[in-house]
Amino acid sequence: MRIDELTTEAEWREAFPVMRELRTHLDEATFLDLMRQMKPEGYRLLAARDDQGVIRALAGIATLTNLYYGRHIWVYELITTASERSRGYGKALLDYVDALARDLGCDTVALASGLQRADAHRFYEQKMGMMRTAYTFQKEIRPSIFTWRAVLPEPQS
């Protein structure tokens, strides 16, 4: 397994099928347009590749500074293709991000995760040593493909 930063449009096209598993609302043209906008703003797309060079997982990150985390890396996306989950790709990516954060003088690595993603939450807490520290809220200003609606887990009896 190796971790690469994807910087070219050809690499982004290669990554799109994996990203689409998380960001189902995006088509390839919209994804590429957004990547062109986000890259100059500091967004970085990392890929975990298998021994044959096939992309199996992605992490979208940015280095930021704010009043509550200080200098930190925010993980916008972390996705492993469904057929390759629980094979270490997500952990390898987050371990890479942790090392990158240390190298960049960051205080924290942080992310938000949808309420419905219970398996991901267990992974973050149990395998990656992360803590739940907040809820994320949003308000729709105008309808768009980016409007996210929570899918709440079914109550347990």
Q: Domain 2-127 in CATH: superfamily?
A: Gcn5-related N-acetyltransferase (GNAT) (3.40.630.30)
State the pLDDT confidence band at 155, using cuts at 50, 70 and 90: very low
How does pLDDT run across 37-70, given as a tens digit for each residue? 999 999 999 999 999 999 999 999 999 999 999 9
Q: Look at residue 114 in the predicted model and tell me its pLDDT.
A: 63
Q: Look at residue 152 in the predicted model and tell me its pLDDT.
A: 46
Instruction: List, in sequence order, every residue forming a beta bridge with 2; answer none if it has no partner.
Output: 49
Task: Quote the CA–CA distance of 105 and 94 in Å, as a whole number.
Answer: 16
Q: List the chain domain ranges.
A: 2-127
pTM: 0.82
How does pLDDT run across 72-123, given as a tens digit for each residue? 999 999 999 999 988 999 999 999 999 999 999 999 998 877 666 766 767 7
